[in-house]
Amino acid sequence: MTKPQEASARRRRGEPNPADVPVHMRRSGLDPLPELSRISAETPFARGMSPVGESWIATGLDEVRAILGDTDRFSTNPVADTAAESRRLAQAGNPLQNDPPEHTRIRKMLTPALTARRMRGMEPVIEEIVADRLKELERAGPPADLMRHFAWPVPGLVACALFGIPRDDQPQLTRNMLLGQRRDGPRKLVMAAEHAFTDYLDRFVARKRLDPAGDDMISMLLREHGDSITDADLVGLIDATLGAGLENMAGMLGLGTLALLDHPGQLAQLRERPELMGQAVEELLRYVAVVPLANFRTALVDVEFAGHVVKAGEVVACSLFAANRTQHPEAPVDDFDITRGSTTHVGFGHGIHFCVGAPLARLELRIAFARLLERFPGLRPAVPREELRFRSQSRPIYGIEKLPIAW
């Protein structure tokens, strides 16, 4: 495809020109641009453009961790013209969009339900889902699109199983959710899908409250917290998990597989030493960094930070991608090493807003990658690298549109 054809295709999809996307969200395939590495080294905290306009941009690992960990002076409520409007826009039940004390209330209820010990109870369910999708992937090829047959379905099915959503309802629910997130679809169709998705969640939670007898997470929360957890809390929790959570995991499975295929020496080592899978997942979380930016922070007061004054009401964007890939002291920018051991990556965020679902995400990734490599010893790309098309870099979650594979 020629450059004019590419530009025309982007316009049809409603995507911006890559040059108009802020540099801290741009990358070349899996890698940061040299410009981002230079900016991170020279000015790890400075003014710049972000998706909400001119903001402060943190690209250094230390700076990102400091801001994300400072909930006294920086708010994670949605960006708005006033503090009251910002609080009003925060989604009920979504710990990433709420400050203490509301965040504390939500997190206190969710954390016991998502501990590593409790998530191990999900292991047989995840194993079954992954096995079923690998059979479907094998029937579809080779070659077959990993994204369509594996990377997208697995996290959707796992999340639905976690919440107790009936299997017969899952295909239509997922279609409505994905259509409702499209930027290039007909407005009436997109809005209808959004309404159908939220209407289903409202009815589902109402049914669960009447009979919370299942062993799923929603039933458990209702039994343990009753009226102290509202229907809006539960709908917001499911919405946030099925929305951003599904995209996060699909992006990780697709780009993580591509990263392993890009590094055949590391892939061979992982096959020879499957006990390294836990370390490999942590390295992939750092290296791929599917979420380029953490939720925006708004200064609650004037803050002296990194030699600058951030005034109350000003917005700060924290680049998780830059922090993980250009400024990580234990991992040079192009160094992908599954034997590295523990790293202080910020793939799941930092501070009190560290991803509450991290234990489930890690378990799901370990199982999915392990079984994929076991099932297909000859796993390889089915098209030249230059034919791969990545998702628009203006989106809040990075990914790959299709990943044709053979074996």
313-369 per-position pLDDT tens digit: 999 999 999 999 876 555 555 589 998 876 779 999 999 999 888 999 999 999 999
In the prediction, which pLDDT does 365 show?
97
Q: What integer pLDDT is reported at residue 331 of this predicted model? A: 54
3-state secondary structure of 316: strand
Q: Which pLDDT belongs to residue 366?
A: 97
Q: Tokens 């080779």, residue?
A: 142
The secondary structure of 103-164 as a DSSP string is HHHHHHHHGGGG-HHHHHTTHHHHHHHHHHHHHHHHHH-SSEEHIIIIITHHHHHHHHHHHT
Give pTM, 2 decimals.
0.89
Tokens 């490599």 locate to: 373
Closest by CA position to 92, among listed 234, 187, 212: 234
* Burial status of residue 17 (CB atoms within 10 A of its CB: 0-12, 13-18, 19 or more): exposed
Distance, in Å, from the CA atom of 314 to the CA atom of 81, rounded to the nearest integer, reads 10
Structure confidence at residue 177 (pLDDT): 79
pLDDT, tens digit, 9 for 90 and up, residues 77-102: 999 888 889 888 888 988 889 999 99
Collapsing DSSP to helix, strand or coil, 391 comes out as: coil
144-145 and 404-406 as β-strands: parallel, antiparallel, unpaired? antiparallel
Q: Is the peptide bond before 18 cis (omega within 30 degrees of 0)?
A: no
Question: What is the structure's pLDDT at 7?
Answer: 41
Q: What torsion, rounded to 10 degrees, do the Cα atoms 239, 287, 60, 69 define? A: 40
Beta sheet of 380-381, edge-to-edge order: 144-145, 404-406, 380-381
Contacts with 4 (C-beta within 8 Å, 6 or more apart), sequence order: none
Q: Following CA atoms 39, 45, 47, 48 in sequence, which dihedral angle do they give, to the nearest 10 degrees? A: 50
- Give residue 175's pLDDT: 79
Report pLDDT for 382.
96
> Measured between alpha carbons, how far is residue 204 from residues 209, 222, 232 in Å?
9, 13, 12
User: What is the C-alpha separation between 389 and 145, in angstroms, rounded?
Assistant: 12
Per-residue burial over 206-238, b = 16 or more CB atoms within 10 Å of its CB, e = otherwise: eebbeebeeebbbbbbbeebeeebebebbbbbb
- Inter-residue contact 173 to 198 (CB < 8 Å): no
Q: What is the CATH number of the domain that holds 222?
A: 1.10.630.10
Per the CB < 8 A criterion, the answer to whether 48 and 24 are in contact is yes
Radius of gyration of the chain (CA): 21
Residues 6+ apart with CB under 8 A from 66: 305
Residues in the chain predicted with pLDDT less than 70, given as ranges, are 1-20, 180-185, 327-334, 342
Whole-angstrom Cα distance, residue 395 to residue 407?
A: 31
N-to-C CA span, the chain: 27
CA dist., res. 331 & res. 344, Å (int)? 10
Distance from C-alpha of 58 to C-alpha of 43, rounded to nearest angstrom: 9
State which residues form the domain around 312: 3-406
CA dist., res. 165 & res. 68, Å (int): 33
How many folded domains does the chain comprise?
A: 1
Is the backbone peptide bond immediately before 101 cis, with ω within 30 degrees of 0? yes
